[in-house]
Structure 1
Amino acid sequence: MHLDSSLRQRLWFQHLLFLLLFCLVIGLLAWLSARYPVRADWTASSRNTLSEASQALLTHLNGPIRVTAYVHDYSPFREGISRLIDRYRRYKPDITLALVNPDLLPDQVRELGISEDGALSVEYAGRRETLQHPGEQALTQILQRLSRSHDRLMLFLDGHGERKPQGIANYDLGAFGHELAKTGIQTRLLNLIAEPHIPSGADGLVIASPQTPLSSDEIRTVLNYVQRGGNLLWLLEPGELTSLQALAALLGVTVFPGVVVDADT
């Protein structure tokens, strides 16, 4: 069967039109991918994506961040450090990374206290800290500290058998206090008998399970602090409120009998 010339022309035109449209679509996709890059992390537990806490912190950091990695030329840490910083750059493009051989700058290495291959010097807002063992959690904690013009102070009520933030006993909160310090939050004990006022410079008060009752003056001081808008973290043990019923009423807290059990722990 022979095709007449008009039919061949139509088929040829349709074929040409298809090729033109196909090239146009490919070109448009290439332009969109360059202008609006999209990345997907298909790894288990999304290990190539920053945590939500790190992402949230980066959105509040105004100004560039400069990271200097002191790593030898053929160190196995070079690639891992680059990948780590790239994860941060996805959410804050004005992060710069410089890879420096520490053998070429011995005086600078000593000045910064660099002792490990792959250590980082992180600069932000005119302040600088050194990170010996890079990782997301440690780097985000450094950025948290650098973002503050001064360290925050968290007071822990003391004098009634409370758990202590620097304590080493198994009932103390030593691990909690250590984590606070890593994020730039300093802790101090506050005995309201010896110091009857809560300092105005405190960023928060922690009541960590007092074992003996507070005096009426201490309770009044705590209530006044909360009513003025002070930050309070109240850690309750199962059982009695230990003279803090007025505080529970002020906060609208109702304590029910019983113990909550986490089946996963």
Structure 2
Amino acid sequence: MKVNSRVRLQFRIQSGVFLLLFIGLLVALAWLSNRYPLTVDMSANQRNSLSQESQRLIESIELPLEITLFVSPINQSKPLLETLFERYQQRQPNISFQSLNPDLYPD
């Protein structure tokens, strides 16, 4: 079968439309993943999840709660603590926290 210029043009248009739709799908997925973050804890003992007791306690908080975390930037526990408090924030929007360097804010 010979491919003439009209068939070639249709193929290019079809390829371009497919490419635009594919890029649009990727952009939509990126936007959705940023807007609605999803985390899945697949560890055997649910180490990366909040316990049922913690979830009940967090959900019972009605007033705004501000948590100040005094931890040195060189402390190896800092990322773990910040991740833990971010999980609290995801469950309860009334919770806010800030991480401060105790060397810069000794009071």
Q: Please tell me the TM-score bracket, short chain as reference.
A: 0.7 to 0.9
Q: Could you report, residue by residue, the CA deviation over 1:132-163 in whole angstroms, capped at 9, with x for unpaired residues?
A: xxxxxxxxxxxxxxxxxxxxxxxxxxxxxxxx
Alpha-carbon offset, residue 74 of structure 1:
2.2
Q: Which amino acid aligns with 2:41?
A: D
Q: Which amino acid aligns with 1:21?
A: L
- Residue in 2 that maps onto 1:90: 90
Alpha-carbon offset, residue 72 of structure 1:
3.3
Cα distance change of structure 1 residues 80 and 37 upon mapping to structure 2, 3 Å threshold: closer
Kept in 2: contact 1:68–1:97 (CA 8 A): yes
Alpha-carbon offset, residue 63 of structure 1:
2.3
Q: How many residues align?
A: 106
Structure 2: which 5+ runs fail to align? none
Q: Which amino acid aligns with 2:24?
A: L
Instruction: Using structure 2 for the length normalisation, give the TM-score.
Output: 0.80
- Residue in 2 that maps onto 1:76: 76
Q: 1: CA distance between counterparts of 2:105 and 2:6?
A: 76
- Residue in 2 that maps onto 1:14: 14
Q: Which amino acid aligns with 2:60?
A: H
Q: Which amino acid aligns with 2:56?
A: A
Q: Considering only CA atoms, is the larger Rg found in Structure 1 or Structure 2?
A: 1
Q: 2: CA distance between counterparts of 1:31 and 1:50?
A: 26
Q: Could you report, residue by residue, the CA deviation over 1:210-229 in whole angstroms, capped at 9, with x for unpaired residues?
A: xxxxxxxxxxxxxxxxxxxx
- Residue in 1 that maps onto 2:47: 47
Alpha-carbon offset, residue 61 of structure 1:
0.6
Q: Which amino acid aligns with 1:50?
A: L
Q: 2: CA distance between counterparts of 1:81 and 1:5?
A: 63
- Higher percent of residues as helix: 2
Percent identity of the aligned residues? 32
* CA root-mean-square deviation: 2.1
Q: Where in structure 2 are the equivalents of 1:155-174 lying within 5 Å?
A: none
Cα distance change of structure 1 residues 8 and 56 upon mapping to structure 2, 3 Å threshold: same
Cα distance change of structure 1 residues 90 and 15 upon mapping to structure 2, 3 Å threshold: same
Q: Could you report, residue by residue, the CA deviation over 1:225-257 in whole angstroms, capped at 9, with x for unpaired residues?
A: xxxxxxxxxxxxxxxxxxxxxxxxxxxxxxxxx
- Higher percent of residues as strand: 1
Kept in 2: contact 1:68–1:100 (CA 8 A): no
Q: Which amino acid aligns with 2:8?
A: R
Instruction: Using structure 1 for the length normalisation, give the TM-score.
Output: 0.36
Q: 2: CA distance between counterparts of 1:68 and 1:53?
A: 22
Cα distance change of structure 1 residues 34 and 76 upon mapping to structure 2, 3 Å threshold: closer
